[in-house]
Protein backbone atom coordinates (compact mmCIF):
# COMPACT_ATOMS: atom_id res chain seq x y z
CA UNK A 1 0.00 0.00 0.00
CA UNK A 2 2.83 2.41 0.82
CA UNK A 3 4.40 1.94 -2.61
CA UNK A 4 1.05 2.28 -4.38
CA UNK A 5 0.14 5.53 -2.63
CA UNK A 6 3.59 7.05 -2.99
CA UNK A 7 3.08 7.01 -6.76
CA UNK A 8 0.19 9.48 -6.28
CA UNK A 9 2.04 11.78 -3.84
CA UNK A 10 2.77 14.63 -6.26
CA UNK A 11 -0.49 14.41 -8.21
CA UNK A 12 -2.82 14.01 -5.19
CA UNK A 13 -5.82 16.37 -5.06
CA UNK A 14 -8.32 17.06 -2.29
CA UNK A 15 -11.18 15.34 -4.15
CA UNK A 16 -9.26 12.07 -3.86
CA UNK A 17 -9.46 12.07 -0.04
CA UNK A 18 -13.00 10.67 0.20
CA UNK A 19 -12.23 8.18 -2.56
CA UNK A 20 -9.40 6.80 -0.39
CA UNK A 21 -11.74 6.63 2.65
CA UNK A 22 -14.27 4.62 0.62
CA UNK A 23 -11.49 2.32 -0.55
CA UNK A 24 -10.36 1.72 3.06
CA UNK A 25 -13.95 0.81 4.08
CA UNK A 26 -14.73 -1.39 1.11
CA UNK A 27 -11.45 -3.28 1.25
CA UNK A 28 -11.54 -3.38 5.06
CA UNK A 29 -7.85 -2.50 5.19
CA UNK A 30 -6.04 -3.57 8.34
CA UNK A 31 -2.57 -3.67 9.83
CA UNK A 32 0.26 -2.09 7.86
CA UNK A 33 -1.96 -1.32 4.85
CA UNK A 34 -4.42 0.58 7.04
CA UNK A 35 -1.75 2.54 8.88
CA UNK A 36 0.02 3.43 5.60
CA UNK A 37 -3.23 4.70 4.09
CA UNK A 38 -4.16 6.81 7.12
CA UNK A 39 -0.66 8.29 7.46
CA UNK A 40 -0.73 9.17 3.75
CA UNK A 41 -4.17 10.75 4.12
CA UNK A 42 -3.11 12.71 7.21
CA UNK A 43 -0.31 14.37 5.24
CA UNK A 44 -2.87 15.70 2.74
CA UNK A 45 -5.94 16.28 4.93
CA UNK A 46 -5.43 15.72 8.65
CA UNK A 47 -9.06 16.50 9.52
CA UNK A 48 -10.44 13.79 7.23
CA UNK A 49 -7.94 11.21 8.51
CA UNK A 50 -8.64 12.12 12.15
CA UNK A 51 -12.41 11.89 11.57
CA UNK A 52 -12.05 8.37 10.15
CA UNK A 53 -9.97 7.21 13.14
CA UNK A 54 -12.48 8.81 15.52
CA UNK A 55 -15.31 6.91 13.83
CA UNK A 56 -13.35 3.66 14.17
CA UNK A 57 -12.86 4.18 17.90
CA UNK A 58 -16.61 4.64 18.30
CA UNK A 59 -17.64 1.85 15.91
CA UNK A 60 -18.85 -1.52 17.13
CA UNK A 61 -17.41 -3.17 13.99
CA UNK A 62 -14.15 -1.36 13.25
CA UNK A 63 -11.80 -2.42 10.45
CA UNK A 64 -8.88 -2.96 12.82
CA UNK A 65 -9.33 -1.54 16.30
CA UNK A 66 -5.70 -2.07 17.53
CA UNK A 67 -4.33 -0.18 14.54
CA UNK A 68 -6.95 2.56 14.95
CA UNK A 69 -6.00 2.96 18.63
CA UNK A 70 -2.30 3.07 17.74
CA UNK A 71 -2.94 5.75 15.08
CA UNK A 72 -5.02 7.77 17.55
CA UNK A 73 -2.18 7.66 20.09
CA UNK A 74 0.55 8.45 17.60
CA UNK A 75 -0.99 10.77 15.02
CA UNK A 76 -3.87 12.50 16.77
CA UNK A 77 -2.83 12.60 20.41
CA UNK A 78 -4.11 16.13 20.94
CA UNK A 79 -7.73 15.26 20.02
CA UNK A 80 -8.06 11.49 20.49
CA UNK A 81 -5.62 10.58 23.28
CA UNK A 82 -8.19 10.24 26.08
CA UNK A 83 -10.57 8.24 23.90
CA UNK A 84 -7.83 5.82 22.84
CA UNK A 85 -6.43 5.63 26.37
CA UNK A 86 -9.83 4.61 27.79
CA UNK A 87 -9.94 1.74 25.27
CA UNK A 88 -6.63 0.20 26.34
CA UNK A 89 -7.33 0.75 30.04
CA UNK A 90 -10.61 -1.14 29.73
CA UNK A 91 -9.24 -4.03 27.66
CA UNK A 92 -5.76 -5.43 28.52
CA UNK A 93 -5.66 -7.62 25.41
CA UNK A 94 -6.46 -4.61 23.23
CA UNK A 95 -3.71 -2.72 25.07
CA UNK A 96 -1.15 -5.39 24.15
CA UNK A 97 -2.21 -5.42 20.49
CA UNK A 98 -2.45 -1.63 20.18
CA UNK A 99 0.85 -0.89 21.89
CA UNK A 100 2.60 -3.57 19.82
CA UNK A 101 1.20 -1.92 16.69
CA UNK A 102 2.34 1.49 17.96
CA UNK A 103 5.82 0.07 18.54
CA UNK A 104 5.85 -1.33 14.99
CA UNK A 105 4.75 2.03 13.55
CA UNK A 106 7.33 3.87 15.64
CA UNK A 107 10.10 1.58 14.42
CA UNK A 108 9.32 2.56 10.82
CA UNK A 109 8.60 6.25 11.48
CA UNK A 110 10.68 7.74 14.30
CA UNK A 111 8.83 11.09 14.20
CA UNK A 112 5.45 9.45 14.76
CA UNK A 113 5.25 10.46 18.45
CA UNK A 114 6.66 13.98 18.24
CA UNK A 115 3.28 15.54 19.11
CA UNK A 116 3.04 13.78 22.48
CA UNK A 117 3.41 16.07 25.47
CA UNK A 118 5.18 15.14 28.70
CA UNK A 119 2.06 13.81 30.47
CA UNK A 120 1.11 11.66 27.48
CA UNK A 121 4.64 10.26 27.29
CA UNK A 122 4.44 9.38 30.98
CA UNK A 123 1.12 7.62 30.45
CA UNK A 124 2.53 5.74 27.46
CA UNK A 125 5.43 4.47 29.55
CA UNK A 126 3.13 3.16 32.31
CA UNK A 127 0.84 1.46 29.77
CA UNK A 128 3.85 -0.19 28.12
CA UNK A 129 5.05 -1.41 31.49
CA UNK A 130 1.62 -2.83 32.30
CA UNK A 131 1.20 -4.55 28.94
CA UNK A 132 4.83 -5.64 28.50
CA UNK A 133 6.59 -5.95 31.88
CA UNK A 134 10.26 -5.12 31.59
CA UNK A 135 12.59 -8.01 30.92
CA UNK A 136 16.39 -8.13 30.82
CA UNK A 137 17.75 -6.21 27.81
CA UNK A 138 17.10 -8.01 24.55
CA UNK A 139 19.88 -8.33 22.00
CA UNK A 140 18.44 -6.66 18.93
CA UNK A 141 19.38 -8.36 15.68
CA UNK A 142 20.28 -5.98 12.91
CA UNK A 143 18.54 -7.86 10.13
CA UNK A 144 15.64 -9.44 11.98
CA UNK A 145 13.95 -7.28 14.60
CA UNK A 146 11.35 -9.10 16.66
CA UNK A 147 8.06 -7.51 17.81
CA UNK A 148 9.23 -7.46 21.43
CA UNK A 149 12.43 -5.73 20.39
CA UNK A 150 10.34 -2.98 18.83
CA UNK A 151 8.40 -2.66 22.08
CA UNK A 152 11.68 -2.25 23.97
CA UNK A 153 12.77 0.45 21.52
CA UNK A 154 9.49 2.28 22.07
CA UNK A 155 9.87 1.98 25.85
CA UNK A 156 13.42 3.36 25.68
CA UNK A 157 12.26 6.16 23.38
CA UNK A 158 10.07 7.70 26.08
CA UNK A 159 12.85 8.72 28.55
CA UNK A 160 14.95 9.96 25.62
CA UNK A 161 12.03 12.09 24.47
CA UNK A 162 11.69 13.57 27.96
CA UNK A 163 15.28 14.77 27.75
CA UNK A 164 14.65 16.23 24.30
CA UNK A 165 11.61 18.14 25.61
CA UNK A 166 13.73 19.53 28.49
CA UNK A 167 10.73 21.03 30.28
CA UNK A 168 9.45 21.18 33.86
CA UNK A 169 6.60 18.89 32.82
CA UNK A 170 9.08 16.31 31.50
CA UNK A 171 10.98 16.40 34.80
CA UNK A 172 7.71 15.95 36.72
CA UNK A 173 6.82 12.88 34.64
CA UNK A 174 10.25 11.33 35.18
CA UNK A 175 9.84 11.77 38.93
CA UNK A 176 6.36 10.17 38.74
CA UNK A 177 7.60 7.21 36.69
CA UNK A 178 10.63 6.64 38.92
CA UNK A 179 8.23 6.21 41.82
CA UNK A 180 5.69 4.14 39.88
CA UNK A 181 8.13 1.68 38.28
CA UNK A 182 10.70 0.75 40.97
CA UNK A 183 12.93 -1.42 38.76
CA UNK A 184 13.36 1.55 36.39
CA UNK A 185 14.10 4.03 39.19
CA UNK A 186 17.88 4.21 38.72
CA UNK A 187 17.69 4.64 34.93
CA UNK A 188 14.87 7.18 35.16
CA UNK A 189 16.63 9.24 37.83
CA UNK A 190 19.75 9.30 35.69
CA UNK A 191 17.61 10.55 32.81
CA UNK A 192 16.00 13.07 35.17
CA UNK A 193 19.43 14.47 35.97
CA UNK A 194 20.24 14.86 32.28
CA UNK A 195 16.82 16.40 31.56
CA UNK A 196 17.26 18.96 34.33
CA UNK A 197 20.67 19.88 32.92
CA UNK A 198 19.14 20.33 29.47
CA UNK A 199 16.34 22.44 30.97
CA UNK A 200 18.82 24.69 32.76
CA UNK A 201 20.94 24.98 29.64
CA UNK A 202 17.94 25.97 27.50
CA UNK A 203 16.51 28.46 29.99
CA UNK A 204 19.82 30.06 31.03
CA UNK A 205 19.59 33.74 30.09
CA UNK A 206 23.07 34.71 31.21
CA UNK A 207 26.35 34.55 29.38
CA UNK A 208 26.94 31.33 27.43
CA UNK A 209 29.80 28.96 28.13
CA UNK A 210 31.23 29.62 24.67
CA UNK A 211 31.41 33.34 25.32
CA UNK A 212 32.97 32.79 28.74
CA UNK A 213 35.60 30.54 27.21
CA UNK A 214 36.35 33.07 24.47
CA UNK A 215 36.72 35.88 26.99
CA UNK A 216 39.05 33.76 29.11
CA UNK A 217 41.17 32.86 26.08
CA UNK A 218 41.53 36.44 24.81
CA UNK A 219 41.50 39.34 27.23
CA UNK A 220 40.58 41.83 24.49
CA UNK A 221 37.28 40.03 23.83
CA UNK A 222 34.03 41.78 24.70
CA UNK A 223 30.47 40.48 24.88
CA UNK A 224 28.28 42.98 23.03
CA UNK A 225 24.86 43.32 24.66
CA UNK A 226 24.21 47.05 24.22
CA UNK A 227 25.45 50.20 22.51
CA UNK A 228 27.47 50.95 25.65
CA UNK A 229 29.34 47.67 25.10
CA UNK A 230 29.80 48.44 21.40
CA UNK A 231 31.21 51.90 22.12
CA UNK A 232 33.64 50.47 24.67
CA UNK A 233 34.68 47.85 22.11
CA UNK A 234 35.40 50.54 19.49
CA UNK A 235 37.37 52.69 21.95
CA UNK A 236 39.50 49.67 22.90
CA UNK A 237 40.12 48.99 19.22
CA UNK A 238 41.20 52.60 18.61
CA UNK A 239 43.63 52.25 21.50
CA UNK A 240 45.15 49.21 19.78
CA UNK A 241 45.33 51.20 16.54
CA UNK A 242 47.30 53.88 18.36
CA UNK A 243 49.85 51.25 19.41
CA UNK A 244 50.16 50.05 15.83
CA UNK A 245 50.56 53.58 14.49
CA UNK A 246 53.71 54.53 16.39
CA UNK A 247 54.46 52.17 19.30
CA UNK A 248 55.63 49.03 17.53
CA UNK A 249 58.78 47.93 15.78
CA UNK A 250 57.18 48.60 12.40
CA UNK A 251 54.77 51.56 12.86
CA UNK A 252 52.04 51.99 10.27
CA UNK A 253 51.59 55.74 10.74
CA UNK A 254 53.31 56.45 7.41
CA UNK A 255 50.16 55.13 5.69
CA UNK A 256 48.57 58.44 6.71
CA UNK A 257 51.25 60.55 5.02
CA UNK A 258 52.36 61.34 1.49
CA UNK A 259 56.14 60.91 1.38
CA UNK A 260 58.37 62.45 -1.22
CA UNK A 261 60.42 65.54 -1.63
CA UNK A 262 57.84 67.29 0.54
CA UNK A 263 56.15 65.53 3.43
CA UNK A 264 52.41 66.20 3.80
CA UNK A 265 49.40 64.41 5.35
CA UNK A 266 46.99 62.48 3.19
CA UNK A 267 43.44 63.73 2.78
CA UNK A 268 41.02 63.49 5.66
CA UNK A 269 39.29 60.66 3.82
CA UNK A 270 42.58 58.73 4.03
CA UNK A 271 42.41 58.79 7.83
CA UNK A 272 38.75 57.75 7.71
CA UNK A 273 39.47 54.83 5.38
CA UNK A 274 42.44 53.66 7.43
CA UNK A 275 40.32 53.76 10.60
CA UNK A 276 37.44 51.86 8.93
CA UNK A 277 39.86 49.26 7.59
CA UNK A 278 41.41 48.80 11.02
CA UNK A 279 38.04 48.40 12.75
CA UNK A 280 36.88 45.92 10.11
CA UNK A 281 39.97 43.73 10.56
CA UNK A 282 40.35 44.14 14.32
CA UNK A 283 36.68 43.56 15.15
CA UNK A 284 35.94 41.04 12.40
CA UNK A 285 34.92 37.44 13.10
CA UNK A 286 38.40 36.05 12.40
CA UNK A 287 39.89 37.99 15.30
CA UNK A 288 37.28 36.76 17.80
CA UNK A 289 37.15 39.99 19.80
CA UNK A 290 33.49 40.93 19.31
CA UNK A 291 31.40 38.18 20.96
CA UNK A 292 27.68 37.57 20.50
CA UNK A 293 27.37 39.75 17.41
CA UNK A 294 28.74 40.68 14.02
CA UNK A 295 30.41 44.10 13.88
CA UNK A 296 30.34 45.95 10.57
CA UNK A 297 32.14 49.31 10.35
CA UNK A 298 31.57 51.27 7.15
CA UNK A 299 32.35 54.83 5.99
CA UNK A 300 29.20 56.77 5.13
CA UNK A 301 30.90 60.00 4.03
CA UNK A 302 34.50 61.07 3.59
CA UNK A 303 34.87 61.76 7.30
CA UNK A 304 32.10 59.70 8.91
CA UNK A 305 31.92 56.05 10.00
CA UNK A 306 29.04 53.97 11.28
CA UNK A 307 29.85 50.89 13.36
CA UNK A 308 26.89 48.48 13.42
CA UNK A 309 26.55 45.41 15.59
CA UNK A 310 24.06 42.70 14.68
CA UNK A 311 23.45 40.38 17.66
CA UNK A 312 23.46 36.71 16.76
CA UNK A 313 22.24 33.83 18.90
CA UNK A 314 22.68 35.56 22.23
CA UNK A 315 20.41 38.03 23.97
CA UNK A 316 19.15 40.59 23.23
CA UNK A 317 17.58 39.49 19.96
CA UNK A 318 16.00 41.32 17.05
CA UNK A 319 17.86 44.60 17.59
CA UNK A 320 20.89 46.37 16.13
CA UNK A 321 23.37 48.66 17.84
CA UNK A 322 25.17 51.57 16.20
CA UNK A 323 27.98 53.93 17.15
CA UNK A 324 28.58 56.93 14.87
CA UNK A 325 32.06 58.37 14.41
CA UNK A 326 33.08 61.80 13.13
CA UNK A 327 36.70 62.03 11.92
CA UNK A 328 38.74 65.24 11.61
CA UNK A 329 42.39 66.18 11.21
CA UNK A 330 43.81 68.54 13.81
CA UNK A 331 44.36 71.37 11.32
CA UNK A 332 40.84 71.24 9.83
CA UNK A 333 39.30 74.70 10.41
CA UNK A 334 36.10 73.04 11.71
CA UNK A 335 37.82 70.77 14.21
CA UNK A 336 36.66 72.92 17.13
CA UNK A 337 32.98 72.91 16.09
CA UNK A 338 32.36 69.57 14.34
CA UNK A 339 31.75 67.68 17.58
CA UNK A 340 28.64 69.77 18.20
CA UNK A 341 27.58 70.77 14.70
CA UNK A 342 28.18 67.51 12.87
CA UNK A 343 28.41 64.50 15.18
CA UNK A 344 25.79 65.60 17.70
CA UNK A 345 23.45 67.80 15.65
CA UNK A 346 23.56 66.04 12.26
CA UNK A 347 23.85 62.44 13.37
CA UNK A 348 22.91 61.73 16.98
CA UNK A 349 20.04 64.18 17.46
CA UNK A 350 18.68 64.23 13.93
CA UNK A 351 18.75 60.43 13.57
CA UNK A 352 17.63 59.78 17.16
CA UNK A 353 20.87 58.02 18.10
CA UNK A 354 22.62 58.07 21.44
CA UNK A 355 26.25 56.94 20.99
CA UNK A 356 29.04 58.70 19.15
CA UNK A 357 32.82 59.09 19.04
CA UNK A 358 34.66 62.19 17.86
CA UNK A 359 38.10 61.25 16.55
CA UNK A 360 40.75 63.87 15.79
CA UNK A 361 44.02 62.93 14.18
CA UNK A 362 46.99 64.98 15.43
CA UNK A 363 49.43 65.61 12.59
CA UNK A 364 52.98 66.83 12.88
CA UNK A 365 56.09 66.11 10.83
CA UNK A 366 59.49 67.63 10.32
CA UNK A 367 59.52 69.86 7.27
CA UNK A 368 55.73 70.16 7.18
CA UNK A 369 53.79 72.97 8.80
CA UNK A 370 50.00 73.30 8.69
CA UNK A 371 48.59 76.52 7.30
CA UNK A 372 46.26 76.82 10.26
CA UNK A 373 46.17 75.59 13.86
CA UNK A 374 42.58 75.95 15.11
CA UNK A 375 43.31 73.98 18.29
CA UNK A 376 46.32 76.22 19.04
CA UNK A 377 48.24 73.17 20.17
CA UNK A 378 51.95 72.60 19.69
CA UNK A 379 52.09 69.00 20.93
CA UNK A 380 49.90 65.92 20.96
CA UNK A 381 49.37 66.34 24.72
CA UNK A 382 48.09 69.88 24.21
CA UNK A 383 45.80 68.72 21.42
CA UNK A 384 44.40 65.95 23.66
CA UNK A 385 43.68 68.51 26.36
CA UNK A 386 41.80 70.72 23.87
CA UNK A 387 39.69 67.81 22.62
CA UNK A 388 38.94 66.74 26.20
CA UNK A 389 37.67 70.29 26.86
CA UNK A 390 35.33 70.09 23.88
CA UNK A 391 34.09 66.70 25.07
CA UNK A 392 33.33 67.93 28.60
CA UNK A 393 31.32 70.86 27.25
CA UNK A 394 29.28 68.61 24.94
CA UNK A 395 28.61 66.05 27.67
CA UNK A 396 27.39 68.82 29.94
CA UNK A 397 25.11 70.16 27.20
CA UNK A 398 23.74 66.73 26.24
CA UNK A 399 23.56 64.52 29.35
CA UNK A 400 21.33 62.01 27.55
CA UNK A 401 23.98 61.17 24.97
CA UNK A 402 26.95 58.83 25.35
CA UNK A 403 29.80 60.76 23.71
CA UNK A 404 33.52 60.07 23.68
CA UNK A 405 36.41 61.81 21.98
CA UNK A 406 39.85 60.53 21.00
CA UNK A 407 42.90 62.44 19.82
CA UNK A 408 44.91 59.98 17.71
CA UNK A 409 48.65 60.64 17.47
CA UNK A 410 49.46 60.60 13.74
CA UNK A 411 52.80 62.38 14.05
CA UNK A 412 55.36 61.30 11.45
CA UNK A 413 58.46 59.88 13.18
CA UNK A 414 61.62 61.87 12.55
CA UNK A 415 63.61 58.67 12.10
CA UNK A 416 61.54 57.78 9.03
CA UNK A 417 62.21 61.15 7.49
CA UNK A 418 65.96 60.75 7.88
CA UNK A 419 65.84 57.56 5.81
CA UNK A 420 63.90 59.14 2.97
Predicted local confidence at residue 275, as pLDDT: 95
Residues 6+ apart with CB under 8 A from 86: none
The answer to whether the beta carbons of residues 329 and 268 sit under 8 Å apart is yes
Degrees, nearest 5: CA angle 195-196-201: 95
The answer to whether the beta carbons of residues 30 and 64 sit under 8 Å apart is yes
Which residue stretches of 181-315 are H helix?
185-203, 209-217, 227-246, 268-282
Predicted local confidence at residue 351, as pLDDT: 93
Please give the radius of gyration of the chain, using alpha carbons only, rounded to the nearest integer. 36
Distance CA 351, CA 344 (A): 10
Question: Residue ranges per domain, the chain?
Answer: 2-203, 213-419
Predicted local confidence at residue 285, as pLDDT: 74
What global pTM score does this model have?
0.52
Residues 6+ apart with CB under 8 A from 174: 122, 159, 162, 188, 189, 191, 192, 195
Question: pLDDT tens string for the chain (420 positions)?
Answer: 666 777 777 788 888 889 889 998 888 988 889 988 998 888 889 999 999 999 999 998 888 999 999 999 999 999 999 999 999 999 999 999 999 999 999 988 878 888 899 999 999 999 999 999 876 545 555 566 788 888 988 999 999 999 999 999 999 999 999 999 988 998 899 999 999 999 988 887 666 656 666 555 666 666 777 888 889 989 999 999 999 998 888 889 999 999 888 899 999 999 999 999 999 998 877 666 666 677 888 888 877 999 988 776 444 455 789 999 999 999 999 999 999 999 999 999 999 999 999 999 999 998 899 999 999 999 999 999 999 999 999 999 999 999 999 999 999 987 665 544
Residues 6+ apart with CB under 8 A from 100: 66, 147, 150, 151
Predicted local confidence at residue 159, as pLDDT: 93
Distance CA 344, CA 206 (A): 34
Degrees, nearest 5: CA angle 218-221-226: 165
Predicted local confidence at residue 128, as pLDDT: 93
Amino acid sequence: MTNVLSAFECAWRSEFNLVLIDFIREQRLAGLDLSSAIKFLARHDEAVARSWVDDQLKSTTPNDLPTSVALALGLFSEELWQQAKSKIVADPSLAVASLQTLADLHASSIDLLEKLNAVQLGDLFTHLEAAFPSVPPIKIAVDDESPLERVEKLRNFVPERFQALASNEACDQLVRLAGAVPHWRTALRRRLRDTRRALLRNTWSGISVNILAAMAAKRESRWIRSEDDLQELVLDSISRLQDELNRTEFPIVRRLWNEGRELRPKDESGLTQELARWLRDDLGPKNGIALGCQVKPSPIHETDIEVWAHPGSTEPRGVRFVVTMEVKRSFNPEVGTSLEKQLIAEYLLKLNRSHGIYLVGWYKGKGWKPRRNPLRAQTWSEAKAKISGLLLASRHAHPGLQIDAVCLNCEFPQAFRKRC
